[in-house]
Amino acid sequence: MIFKSLRLVFTSLCLLGFALPAAAQDLSSVARLLQSKKMVDLTHAFSPTTPVWSGFGQAKFTPAFDPKTKKPYTLKEDGFRTTYYDMVGQYGTHVDPPAHFAEGGITMDKIPLKQMILPLIVLDNTGYQKKDENHAFSVADLKAWEKKYGRVPKGSFVALRTDMGKDFDANPEKFKRAPFPAWAFETIKFLYEQRGVTATGHESLDTDITDKMESETYILSKGHYQIEVMANLDKVPAKGALIVVSWPKVKDGLGFPARAFAILP
């Protein structure tokens, strides 16, 4: 599995224009190359106090216990300890697979491995938020970005930077506010239909600026996945980086906390 994953990384690095020596086709060389690069964690750590939609409620973390005695396991008496996690799948930085919204959509365990290592594009909404704190990133905004950086490449992962992630731990109530800066529906459609992107992500709890859920419904019903509640997008360049994202392989899973990080050029 590790060699298959490294081959995927090698292919993605070539597509991104990373300068790879001929010897890099040896997977150990690919590994050394990756380890030499700066990496940025795009994931929030989650806890029972993590901001979450009120309709789901907070997680509960409790010590695991012997089902017969109900006594919690401890290092002192048992040599190990572990935790029961009671929470909704859509918690913290998480993946939404198509089946989350779409009847017949694929579940998280069936998302192809090749879709977990992708070129990363970061669209910066923060400049527009100076005039409108709840600005919806528009197609005009996207075309302005492309004029500066070039066309969004097919098969990429496109993330929307709003800096909302800075409030995730520092000001949870502000993080959960509504309205909030997010995607405009027409921009989501444009990215998937005109640019052929593979997946999208954002810092907020939801994709849409309204409760109609148009963007999220569109993404998932078209067979794509998204990553919500991303972190540290301000530390990643607009283009040229690689995103690696994964999650537990829950059978028929409808969503779960994910781990995402960027490999910088």
> In terms of domains, do 117 and 18 share one?
no
In a domain, 176, yes or no: yes
Residue 224 has pLDDT above 60, yes or no: yes
> In terms of domains, do 150 and 182 share one?
yes
Note the pLDDT tens digit of each residue in 177-220. 999 999 999 999 999 999 999 999 999 999 998 888 999 999 99
> In terms of domains, do 134 and 106 share one?
yes
235, containing H or E segment: none
In a domain, 4, yes or no: yes
Confidence (pLDDT) at 26: 85
Question: What residues contact residue 40 under an 8 Å CB cut-off, 6+ apart?
Answer: 232, 235, 236, 241, 261, 262, 264
Confidence (pLDDT) at 9: 59
Confidence (pLDDT) at 210: 83
Residue 74 has pLDDT above 70, yes or no: yes
In a domain, 54, yes or no: no
Gap between the Cα atoms of 59 and 62, Å rounded = 10
Instruction: Return the percentage of the chain with pLDDT > 70, whole number.
Output: 91
Confidence (pLDDT) at 1: 46
Residue 228 has pLDDT above 50, yes or no: yes
> In terms of domains, do 253 and 174 share one?
yes
Q: Please, is 9 exposed, middle or buried when counting C-beta atoms within 10 Å of its C-beta (0-12, 13-18, 19+)?
A: buried
> In terms of domains, do 25 and 42 share one?
no
> In terms of domains, do 32 and 103 share one?
no
Specify the CATH number for the domain of residue 126: 3.50.30.50
In a domain, 130, yes or no: yes
> In terms of domains, do 23 and 43 share one?
no
Residue 257 has pLDDT above 70, yes or no: yes
> In terms of domains, do 102 and 217 share one?
yes
By residue range, what is the domain housing residue 11? Answer: 1-36
Q: Where are the alpha helices (DSSP H) in the chain?
A: 2-16, 27-36, 75-78, 126-129, 139-149, 167-170, 172-175, 185-194, 214-221
> In terms of domains, do 12 and 43 share one?
no
In a domain, 60, yes or no: no
Residue 2 has pLDDT above 50, yes or no: no
> In terms of domains, do 106 and 231 share one?
yes
> In terms of domains, do 30 and 95 share one?
no
Longest Cα–Cα distance in the chain: 66
Closest listed residue to residue 219, CA positions, set 211, 227, 209: 227
In a domain, 53, yes or no: no
Radius of gyration of the chain, Cα coordinates, nearest whole angstrom: 20
Note the pLDDT tens digit of each residue in 98-138. 999 999 999 999 999 999 999 999 999 999 999 999 999 99
Average pLDDT taken over every residue of the chain: 93
Residue 30 has pLDDT above 80, yes or no: yes
In a domain, 32, yes or no: yes
Note the pLDDT tens digit of each residue in 89-100. 999 999 999 999
Three-state SS at 167: helix
Instruction: Return the percentage of the chain with pLDDT > 90, whole number.
Output: 86
Confidence (pLDDT) at 22: 56
Q: Quick check: 75 and 81 in contact, CB under 8 A? A: yes
Number of domains within the chain: 2
Q: Quick check: 40 and 232 in contact, CB under 8 A? A: yes
In a domain, 69, yes or no: no
- Mean pLDDT value of segment 151-164: 98
What token pair was written down for 45? 């750590």
Q: Which residues in the chain belong to E strands, given as ranges?
A: 39-41, 60-63, 83-86, 94-96, 117-124, 136-137, 157-161, 182-183, 199-202, 226-228, 241-246, 256-257, 259-263
Gap between the Cα atoms of 119 and 59, Å rounded = 33
> In terms of domains, do 96 and 218 share one?
yes
